[in-house]
Amino acid sequence: MRAVCWHGKHDVRVDNVPDPRLLNPRDAIIQVTSTAICGSDLHLYDAVIPGLQKGDILGHEFMGRVVEVGPQSNLRLGARVVVPFTISCGQCFFCQGLQFSACENSNPVENQEVSEKMFGKPLSGYFGYSHLTGGYSGGQAEYVRVPFSDVGPVEVPDGVSDEEVLFLSDILPTGWMAAENASIQAGDVVAVWGCGPVGLFAVQSALLMGAAEVIAIDHHPHRLTLAAGLGASTINFDEGDVLEAVADLTGGLGADAVIDAVGMEAHGFVVDNALDHAKQKFLPAMDRAHALRMAIMAVRKGGRVSVPGVYGGFADKFPLGAIMEKGLQLTSAQTHVQAYIRPLLKKVLAREIDTTFLISHRLPLDQAPRAYKNFRDNQNEWTKVVLKP
């Protein structure tokens, strides 16, 4: 089969590789019909996430048809399914508490040592996201093996297009959970850093949850236009002081809740970000937390900070004092997709949420190297890429 493989920094290729096969009783094999490049895939493309090996198959946003099942899978052959990016057993202490992305049993024991040393506890298994998260092959391929297929994949009806439900695999639940973690109350003003796909879905979710106003912050005009189309006020951080602008829009109080949908590769031209760039280039596992720092400064006293943006290691100049002195609540997590995917599918089917507005490019799988390059370098125009194997 053909698959998008990582070969080094800014080097992805479409290789011919052996087909996957069932390895465990609860496995299934999915023939991928649509897959997307996620903003967090760019962290792999930029080689700032450790634990990748040459030849690893990328991709954690995908859907397709079930073509093979293990004896303990409950999937129906031929069923059309969306697959969560988190691999979860459904039975461990964390899965039973609906914290699926903290699953204890999905990352093979042999792959747990590094993340256990880095974070104190091992990470769970994710598709196509380095050997820190299990070394599982990803879904930017013609076929993919899905472990614990009785827990993750959700069947979708034939009357709905791939593009309407594909993002249930990651970015829609991630944006939704980011807004939920911000504990939005009616009348709140919510500021969202980053108008990438997760940021845009966070904007949409915050408005659905009753926010009186959502402020979207980015520097790509087209992405800001998409946010404005959802009903957000916008701030272009190239055109002025963001903290002052947020203060003005909130009557000097600060935002009730802030959402950092940027993560470890924040851009900006302030001194702290320039230093972060230098450190990330030479030191492993260093995060550029410029957006998060600004969000913490912009939130009101007693406010909430929600972090769906991916961070992989350590951040310098982190304003811990502001969290304590302002009495902030900070919440973050890899998305517990399995907890959100069914309720969000209902909202998509009821046309309460539109997921297709952010797709800018639809390309065959063979165009993946070009798609990665442009998704990274031309972010204004390339807002979301869907690949067709």
Partner 1 sequence: MTITPETAAVLADTSPTLNQKEPEAPFRHVEESLRPSPQDPHYKGFTFGTAAVTIMSPMERIWALLKDPKSQALVLGPRVSLKDLGASRFNWTLTTKRRQISVETELFQLEIPDQPQMDGSRRALMLWENLALSSTELEIKLQLRPSTHAGAVVAEALVAYRYSFGRMAARLATLQGADPVAECRMALKRLRMLAETGEIAISHPQPEGTAAKYEVA
The contact set with partner 1 (CB under 8 A) reads 1, 3, 5-7, 13, 15, 17-21, 23-26, 53-57, 72, 89-93, 96, 104-112, 125, 134-137, 141, 145, 147-148
Q: Minimum CB separation from partner 1 for residue 26, in Å?
A: 6
Residue 104 main-chain phi, psi, to 5 deg:
-85, -20
Compute the least distance from the CB of residue 20 to partner 1, in Å. Answer: 5
Closer residue to partner 1 (CB): 17 or 228? 17
Rounded Cα–Cα distance for residues 61 and 19 (Å): 19
Q: Which amino acid is at 144?
A: V
Taking the least distance from each CB to partner 1, the nearer of 41 and 213 is 41
Burial of 231 per CB tally in 10 Å (0-12, 13-18, 19+)? middle
Tell me the β-bridge partners of 35: 62, 387
Q: What is the closest distance, in whole angstroms, from the C-beta atom of residue 197 to partner 1 in the complex? A: 26
Q: Judged by CB, which is closer to partner 1: 53, or 225?
A: 53
Q: Helix, strand or coil for residue 65?
A: strand
Q: How far is the CB of 40 from partner 1 (least distance, A)?
A: 19
Whole-number minimum distance, CB 369 to partner 1, in Å? 13
Residue (of 31, 105, 114, 110) closest to 68 by Cα position: 31
Burial 341-365 (b: 16+ CB within 10 A, else e): beebbebbeeeebebeebbbbeeeb
Compare residues 52 and 168 and give the one whose CB is closer to partner 1: 52
CB nearer to partner 1: pick between 11 and 354? 11
Residue 52 CB, shortest distance to partner 1, in Å, is 11
Angle at 68 between CA 346 and CA 53, to 5 degrees: 90
Q: If you search the block for the tokens 């996201």, which residue do you land on?
A: 129
Sole residue written with tokens 């048809």: 65
Q: For partner 1, give the closer residue by CB, 14 or 292.
A: 14
**Cβ–Cβ < 8 Å for 345, 320:** no
Q: Are the CB atoms for 253 and 246 separated by under 8 Å?
A: no
Q: CB of residue 140 vs partner 1: minimum separation in angstroms?
A: 11
Query: Cα 309 vs. chain centroid, distance in angstroms?
Result: 7
Closer by beta carbon to partner 1, 27 or else 276: 27
